[in-house]
Amino acid sequence: MLLKKARIKDIAARAGVSIGTVDRVLHERGEVAERTRERILKIVKELEYSPNYIARALKSTRKFHLVSLLPEPDEDNAFWIKHSLGLQKAMNELDPFPVRLSQVTYNMLNEKHFQQKAGNIIKMNPDGVILAPLFKAEATDFCNHLSRKYIPFVFLDGFLKESEFLSYTGEDIFQSARVAGQLTDLVTPVNKDILIVNMVKNLKNVQHLNIRTEGFLSYFSGSANNKGKIVKLRISDPVPESIRKETGKTLMKNPEIRTIFVTGSKSYKIADFIESEELGSL
């Protein structure tokens, strides 16, 4: 049997007061005698009353403006196409409500482009922001601006622990990389080496890649079977020529490497290099 949801009028009837008095207590506005306020709050608790936000939003004449700031999807980062489609699908489902979404994108290889787009969003004075904080320094500054203006924000595929975010949607970056470390340990001969590749210009400022590297390494600091070296390589310009040159040099210098872990979404570029060089032992 379904229990009927308590309404403000039910609270008012039980308390012997007007609906307006209950409304003033619930929203902490206007003067209400202390004994009356306590009686109303007690009934609210007894009836397990919760406000109907859907009905409230449908009645509202205010238009809420949300803005997303995500990386630009391209052939190298098709992963981000899904985010845009998912946000649009969510907005279609919210069609009855007074909410609109502006989707803003930034070049995920360019911190200054992120800063420019973040500055534009601040000027828009949105009611909420959905953010993928790839650049730690710039994203932290942006989030501080949002907090100062009391603009709520949520994170996708990465978060800044020190910020005042409402929620995070995405993988547990550290733990997923730790699982990758465990799988790598299973397939790598015990005395052979492992290569970690980061394809990014400023690794220090791209926190999700650092967290992924830390998670991967954390497995090998414990009960891993592998006793070989962990070699790290950063490729600042992930074009085929740079990948061929930098990866080739690293493999020549470390001939015992048998497994490669790529922290970002461009692992296929390393795979293309290995295939082109016929390095079947990797």
Residue 46 contacts residue 11 (beta carbons within 8 Å): no
Beta strands in 107-241 (DSSP E): 128-131, 153-156, 168-169, 193-198, 230-234
Model pLDDT, residue 239: 87
| Residue closest to 198 by CA, chosen among 212, 188, 178, 184 | 212
What pLDDT score does 280 carry? 58
DSSP 115-149: HHHHHHHHHH--SEEEE---BHHHHHHHHHHHHHT
Token pair belonging to 62: 């205010």
19-26 and 8-15 helices, crossing angle to 10° = 110
Q: Say how far apart CA 130 and CA 159 lie, in whole Å.
A: 11
Residue given tokens 């490729």 in the structure block: 235
Please give the pLDDT value at position 57.
Answer: 57
Distance of alpha carbon 25 from alpha carbon 107, whole angstroms = 49
Query: How buried is 174 (Cβ within 10 angstroms: 0-12 exposed, 13-18 middle, 19+ buried)?
Result: middle
Is 259 within 8 Å of 188 (Cβ atoms)?
yes
Contact 8, 22 (CB under 8 A): yes
Domains, the chain, ranges and CATH? 8-51 (1.10.260.40), 59-169 (3.40.50.2300), 173-276 (3.40.50.2300)
Q: What is the pLDDT along the chain (282 residues), one digit of tens a residue?
A: 345 678 888 999 999 999 889 888 887 777 889 999 999 999 998 888 876 655 665 566 678 899 999 999 877 677 888 999 999 999 998 877 788 999 999 998 899 999 999 999 999 999 999 999 999 999 999 999 999 999 999 999 888 988 999 999 998 999 999 999 999 999 999 999 999 999 988 888 888 899 999 999 999 998 899 999 999 999 998 888 999 999 999 999 999 999 999 998 788 888 888 888 776 556
| Residue in the block written with tokens 């039910």 | 10
Please state the pTM of the whole predicted model. 0.70
